[in-house]
A and B are shown apart, each in its own frame.
Chain A
Amino acid sequence: MSELVFQTITELSGRLATGEISSAELTRTFIARTKSLDQRVHAFNSFDAGDALAQAVASDERRAAGQSRGPLDGIPVGLKDVIAVTGQPLTASSRMLANFVSPYDATVTARLKQAGAVLWGRLNCDEFAMGSSTENSAFGPAANPWDLARVPGGSSGGSAAAVAAGEAVATLGSDTGGSIRQPAALCGVVGLKPTYGLVSRYGLVAFASSLDQIGPMTRTVEDAAIMLGAIAGHDENDSTSYRSQIPDYRAELKRRPGPWRIGLPREYFGEGLDPEIGAAVEQAVAFYRAQGCEVKPVSLPHTPYCLDTYYIIATAEASSNLARFDGVRYGHRSKDAKDAVDLYFKSRSEGFGPEVKRRIILGTYVLSSGYYDAFYLRAQKVRTLIRRDFLKAYEEVDALLTPTSPVPAFKLGEKSDPLALYLCDIYTIGVNLAGLPAISVPCGFTRAGLPIGLQLIGQPFQEADLLALAHVYERAHDWCRRRPAFAAVASSG
């Protein structure tokens, strides 16, 4: 039965449909596995086994009555602990929200419920999604299932590790500067950041509102297509939600045969790229060439400015968004405040961890009187130039191909300097600034056995093309079938 935990949504939905297994059996398997494994992985901040099982039983009853709701009905899906589920904890991995219970569902939550998914657990992440290693979680870091001494990436590290360790079939993460794609790459799973505006942010704990997007983390591209189909689409509760027709992403995978014109941005293959990752990505390039795709170099000349632009805009928006945590209406309230103003200072200083404080301070600084034009306004203008680079490249090519991360999973505690950690995001942040869709798919392993991720960047709202392009690669390779040795041992035990 332990093999169940490494199957895809497609495979499991088939077995549920034939009655070979029930959702209750499947959910019990994941509960048991998570109870036995997660002390070492720490992918979960918490889970509610009774609630998950009740959802599974309801799914089985629907199916018995001939009212199954499709491929996600009865499938255990984990949510990053920044996405609201009514009656469940919502901590953002922060002491500030340690005791917070969601009074309502995020739109993605409501849509997954509508699709019949069994919502399973609250997944660990960097505090308020700020980080690239999940080491900033106030409840302790998560580990990489491929090497427990290493980080799973971040900020959606728990969402990636849960899939890689066989603790969830699929999960949702959120991506502000690479927080879905980088952990997907480091854990050997698929991670999709949709176009800004395709998926509602209602009920997502806000980090940087002009960059945040929710997206799926799965074993396969087909599973990502199924998940995206369930969560995408206009929502009047998010004023930045885009009105567009949502295609059947899964059906479209086979209807878009290519060949594509693929661009290799030369700025993404320079100094700092791990040679083993570079070699694996070159192999992927050779594969697409062999499929008849035209592959050519392109230039995104403002790439060197992406990191700085991002850390001005993201921290500015974060400092504004996190002003709501003042100890008054919800969240941590200091016990020894003298007066109302002291309550703000003490509650915030006690509730936020160091990285969140650093970013609030940086964001406050770049927005403060006398510095706004020099930093924030200038960064917004450079953002325009960065976005134009991508749109210009798309006059010549259909998609861009790059590494997802310059380095494979690093050791816990190895990167203690914030700037060194920020540099982990150099290949992913441009996509957020430009609002584009991008996917990370497994494309090999280092000699030390650590997963490598390939990033494919698509055109706005053309997720169907992007998924099809990734699917062509995935079908010809078996990287997604590999399992961490730790997880295999854990299965037999």
Chain B
Amino acid sequence: MSSAPDLNLDHVAHLARLTLTAEERAQFAQQLGDVLHHIEQLSKVDVTGIEPTAHAFPIVNVWAEDIPRPGLPVEAALRNAPAQRDHMVAVPKVVD
């Protein structure tokens, strides 16, 4: 099938912070085009006056008592950090 007319793959990949290879680009354009064509049939449904559902069982205003509890120790929280220094996550320079 053809790619979806409105899907600007480069733009959307950029929004998602993904870089696609040429091969991925070609493949995704075709596959996502098929999926979007399938999805187009949703436009046939009459949704006039219908409220959207975000959760099947809406639970609102969930409160918890404000009781201090121990959190993760710094060592445990940083255990999976790719790089760290002085109990902080180290990252490449952001501002010159």
Instruction: For the complex formed, measure the closest distance between the CB of A460 and the CB atoms of chain B, giving whole angstroms.
Output: 7
Q: For the complex formed, measure the closest distance between the CB of A315 and the CB atoms of chain B, giving whole angstroms.
A: 9
Cβ–Cβ < 8 Å partners of A360 in chain B: 16, 18
Number of residues from A at the complex interface, CB < 8 A: 74
Binary interface profile of B, 3-15, with partner A (CB < 8 Å = 1, else 0)?
A: 0001101001101
| Residue from A307, A349, A381 within 8 A of B38 (CB atoms) | A307
Instruction: Give the chain A neighbours of B51 by CB distance below 8 A.
Output: 381, 384
B26 at the interface (CB under 8 A from A): no
A378 at the interface (CB under 8 A from B): yes
Nearest chain A CB to B49 CB, angstrom units: 9
Interface residues in B50-64 by Cβ distance below 8 A to A read: 50-57, 59, 62, 64
CA distance A19 to B17 in the complex (A): 57
Write the chain B residue with the least CB distance to A307. B38
- Which has the most chain B C-beta neighbours within 10 Å: A99, A242, A381? A381
Instruction: Tell me the minimal C-beta distance from B72 to chain A in angstroms.
Output: 6
Given A330-B82, A419-B38 in contact, is the A339-B92 Cβ separation under 8 Å?
Answer: yes
**CB contact under 8 A between A362 and B32, given known A329-B81, A344-B17:** yes
A435 close to B55 (CB less than 8 A): yes
- A333-B83, A368-B12 known; A328-B52 Cβ under 8 A: no
B31's partner among A197, A417, A436, A460 (CB-CB below 8 A) is A417
The reply to whether A308 and B41 form a contact with Cβ atoms under 8 Å apart is yes
Say which residue of B12, B17, B55, B62 sits within 8 Å of A210 (CB atoms): B55
**Contact of A239 with B62 at beta-carbon distance under 8 Å, contacts A358-B31, A385-B47, A434-B56 already known:** yes
Chain B CB within 8 A of A377 CB: yes
Q: Number of residues in B with C-beta < 8 Å to the partner? A: 50
Residues of B within 8 A of A239 (CB): 59, 62
Interface residue SS majority, chain A: helix
- Judge whether A11 is part of the interface by a CB distance below 8 angstroms: no
* CA of A358 to CA of B47, assembled, Å: 28
Pick from A323, A331, A380, A460: contact of B52, CB under 8 Å: A380
Report yes or no: B53 in contact with A345, Cβ–Cβ below 8 A: no
B80 touches A330 (CB 8 A): yes
B80 touches A383 (CB 8 A): no
Q: Looking across the interface, which residue of chain A has its beta carbon closest to that of B51?
A: A384
Known A340-B93, A381-B52: A305·B41 in contact at CB below 8 Å:
yes
Over the window 309-337 of chain A, the binary record of Cβ atoms lying under 8 Å from chain B Cβ atoms (1 yes, 0 no) is 10110000001000100111111110001
Measured between beta carbons, the chain B residues less than 8 angstroms from A342 are: 92
The answer to whether the Cβ of A343 comes within 8 Å of any Cβ in the partner chain is yes
- Establish whether residues B53 and A308, one from each chain, have CB atoms under 8 Å apart when the complex forms: no
**Residues of B with C-beta under 8 A to A419:** 31, 34-35, 38
Tell me, yes or no, whether A100 is within 8 Å of chain B by CB. yes
Contacts of A338 in B (CB 8 A): 92
A308 to B40, CA, bound (A): 8
CB distance from A440 to the nearest CB of B (A): 20
- Which chain A residues border B64 with CB–CB below 8 Å? 236
By the criterion CB–CB under 8 Å, are B59 and A197 in contact? yes
**Whole-angstrom distance between the Cβ of A305 and the nearest chain B Cβ:** 6
Q: Assuming A340-B94, A354-B24, what are 12 further A-B pairs, CB within 8 angstroms?
A: A195-B57, A236-B64, A305-B45, A330-B82, A333-B83, A340-B91, A343-B91, A348-B18, A358-B28, A365-B32, A418-B34, A436-B56
Provide a sorted-by-A list of 10 A–B residue pairs whose CB atoms are within 8 angstroms.
A100-B80, A197-B56, A242-B59, A343-B92, A360-B16, A364-B12, A374-B43, A378-B43, A419-B31, A460-B57
| Nearest 9 Cβ contacts at the A-B interface | A435-B56, A380-B52, A333-B82, A330-B80, A381-B47, A364-B16, A381-B50, A383-B53, A103-B76
